Amino acid sequence: MSDPSAPLPSGPESTRVDRWLWAVRLTKTRSDAAQACRGGHVRVNGRPAKAATAVKAGDEVRVRLHGTTRLVDVSHVIAKRVGAPIATRCYVDRTPAPPPQATGPVIRRDRGAGRPTKRDRRQLDKLRADQWPPG
């Protein structure tokens, strides 16, 4: 296990955004990072970024991956992939927390119970009406 207080590896002053996203483990492969750039899912300092866009310490990178938007500030530039504990120290994650999901009682029926009876349907409708509007 690596020491969390170990010094960060030395790196260049700036590097390509696709390379940096891969190096800090925000994407699994560098080609995934490049594809996200081509698809318009990566922004550096508020501007759409191509794969070759340079990033340096202090830049803000916004990347949309797998349906979630990550907002990170570059604190250290690395060009080679490193272990996860070191990689997380190379950026400051400012991703906003997801909005809370409205949860209510879960309606379950026994498997193989067949169609609900008229009485069951009325009870379900009443339960659903009590939950509406959500929030």
Reading the block at residue 22, the tokens are 């891969």
pLDDT greater than 70 at residue 90: yes
- Going by C-beta distance under 8 Å and a sequence separation of 6 or more, which residues neighbour residue 87? 23, 24, 25, 78, 81
Q: Which residue spans within the chain are E strands per DSSP? A: 14-16, 42-44, 47-48, 54-56, 60-65, 68-74, 91-93
Task: Render pLDDT for 59-78 as a digit per residue (tens, 0 to 9).
Answer: 999 999 988 899 999 999 99
Task: Render pLDDT for 1-35 as a digit per residue (tens, 0 to 9).
Answer: 556 677 777 778 899 999 999 999 999 999 999 99
Residues 55 and 18: their CA atoms lie apart, in Å, by 9
Residues 59 and 56: their CA atoms lie apart, in Å, by 6
Q: Tokens 């009876």 label which residue? A: 117
